[in-house]
Structure 1
Amino acid sequence: MDRRRKITISLVILSLFLVMVGSVLAYTYTNTLLVDTVPTGAQIYAGGIYKGNSPVRITNLYDTETNNYHTILIDKLGYKEAIEYVSTPAGSNNVLNITLESAYTFTNTFTVNTIPEGANVTVVGVIKGLNRQAYTPDEYAQAFPEKTNVTLTNLADTNPDAEYNDERTHFLTIKKEGYAPYYQFIETPAGSNNVINVVLNPVPQVRFVVTSEPTEAMVRTESAGYAGYTPIDVNKTVQDYTNYYTYRLILEKQGYFTDTSYHSLRAGDTKVYHVAMKRVDSTGAFWVRTSPGASWRLTKTGHPGYQGIINAGGAGGNNRVDLGTYTLRVSKVGYVQHVSTTDIASPNSVNANNQIVYNYTIVDVALVQTGSLSVTSSPTGAQIYVDNVYKGLTPRTVTYLAPGERAVRLVKTGYQDYNTLVTVNSGQTTTL
């Protein structure tokens, strides 16, 4: 190819490029177009290009001249497709408002009657005002605020030849506390006036009527889970009408000790339960330490006592003792009973994580082993008194005597009383 021919071809290509650039540069973009729909959320297309969901303001459409238009397509599930032709002259700020037409008709009625009345009715399908396949619980509540007996007018006419299942049938659910749920696929053809009558079947249940002081305690059961807050009247389904089922009833409230109780019930039973919950800060924790292990008891006039066992490790107590002053007794066979006064004054508390912090009053007790006194006399059969307490007839070994000096008296008819002082030693037997 000669040089002149190459130059000619290059000039032709350059000319075509300049024409194309000129064509592009000939468009201006000084307009806006706001597209809004009823309902909102429709997909908006301009010239086949997606621009967003309504309401949407479009700013990238070129300015149109006379008799020149953009094709705007509006699409939303459950509604008929809409097409509009819009002119966007330079500098214009147009608004396009479109009310979409439902893709379905609603010319039927559907009446739901139940025995007993007052059941909740919901339907899965095409619902007037929703017109889509997935609904929130709030939308269901708005679509079906009524309870049976009720006539529904918000169900789309069904078509057995429709492409999608939810356009061929609706799925009806009827629920009522204490009764088995009822389910059925239903058809609502155009112009139909269907009526359904349902007798609900009761299910075996137990009933809890729970109150507390103070109120607003959270109630739950181990086998049936969260139930609500006091005061509460709640039913729980059981498996049959014959067997007894044990429920662990738990009441919880911030700043109070958890209350746990057990109840054996069968279908038809009602448990009425009231509890006065105890504040954590109205109690203190008590701990006694001694060796060997023993039993302990806290008592206070006019108040229920507390008692327990000191374990082999030499410790025992109670974390929930009402604040106050108590008499403490620590006892073990073969040892002198310990008696003292104990003041429970440091209240328990609850931290920021709702955990109980126990504030302990700790008492250390040194138990003293008792001694024995072996008493014989001639003649035998003399009455033995130790510290004026009758202990039996000679010969006899008197056990469990506190160590120390003891007054001993022997008495026998026809003989002069014998009186003496005897020292009893811890863990030993003294002979008289």
Structure 2
Amino acid sequence: MLARQRVVLPDWLALYYDRPIEITHGEGRHVWDAEGRRYLDFFGGILTTMTAHALPEVTKAVAEQAGRILHTSTLYLNRPMTELAERIAALSGIPDGRVFFTTSGTEANDTALLLATAHRGSNQVLAMRNSYHGRSFAAIGITGNASWAATSLSPLRTFYLHGGVRHRGPFAGLGDEEFIAACVADLRDTLAQTRGNVAALIAEPVQGVGGFTSGPDGLFAAFREVLAEHGILWISDEVQTGWGRTGDHFWGWQAHAAAGPPDMLTFAKGIGNGMSVGGVVARAEVMNCLDVNSVSTFGGSPVTMAAGLANLGYLLEHDLQGNARRVGALLRDRVREAAAGVDIVREVRGRGLMIGVEVVRPGSGEPSAEAASLVLEAAREQGLLIGKGAGPGGTALRIAPPLTLTAAEAEEGAEMLGRALAEAATALT
């Protein structure tokens, strides 16, 4: 399979592991490979399997809808799409919210940028350093992480702000209040370098590909005060932070709630539990600013909408946000305990079931992509799947299990990760 894939797919399509695995099926928080080996899944297909693998409620909804009709497009009335839009608009917190469905987070962010630039009549955009918003031409143009920016060409003029990373950069040594004040001063200085009429700030409340990093709570509330002075829109990229994954809040922007809701939020990944669902929620004034015709061939597909409805219903009925808060705190504590004394671990951070582990070269404190790769391989041998390659140089490990993770599975996974960290540390020394 590996040889066949290398012949027909791009060389730049990343694969995990020295011996890549083919995942054939899953159940709950576990998956199996083509050789029959079972793994505890702590990455969920890049934070996409939000509730559980093969969740009966979702598979039943998909099968029933597929048996009726697979596709119609947005040119026709679509009951599942309307019902899911109603639920998401109500949950978003955005007054008079309108919802447009896409097939991915990349497309959702692309749409938000289109709306913002059209509404404001400007191609100037603010984004955060170390950020990632997708792989489309426009999304790469606002990506502040060089490891994921395939081209410097862009239809947008982008200005990058400090604040997405608390532990690194010129403000790292400041207290939270001083850190926020310095970032606000940076924002004001940056705006002075523009030609005025900036369209929007797009920001992840917790940076995903950036290594699950974030500024202090209230940072974007402070930014919002400055943005409001200029009429600049705030787009909250909730592709990885939405649906209760951070535990304390349903949306990441709510950690900055003093600012009120954003003008737009984008979502994807977890809502479909593996089905291709993304979208934008925006104030009606912003969403309706386009004065041309538009449709979506695959956005709002009856089958993916049925999956989203079933998945969202399960999440709310079983309080998976609460589970993310409780089990996430347990997992984070256990990972910290397992990492204590392991000299390749610089920091364990995160919120809810969104945990990052920053690894370094022993004795130097320097970020080490080699260490991250060794831990990834060792964890796989232990029977644990995690993510890596986040942040500058690919030195952060990402842990984001399905939100139904049990306390016993959290304990088991932390033990396996602890052994993997120790094995990698020994190999490096």
| TM-score with structure 1 setting the length | 0.15
Structure with greater proportional helix content: 2
Structure with greater proportional strand content: 1
Q: Does 1 or 2 have the higher relative contact order (CA < 8 Å, sep 6+)?
A: 2
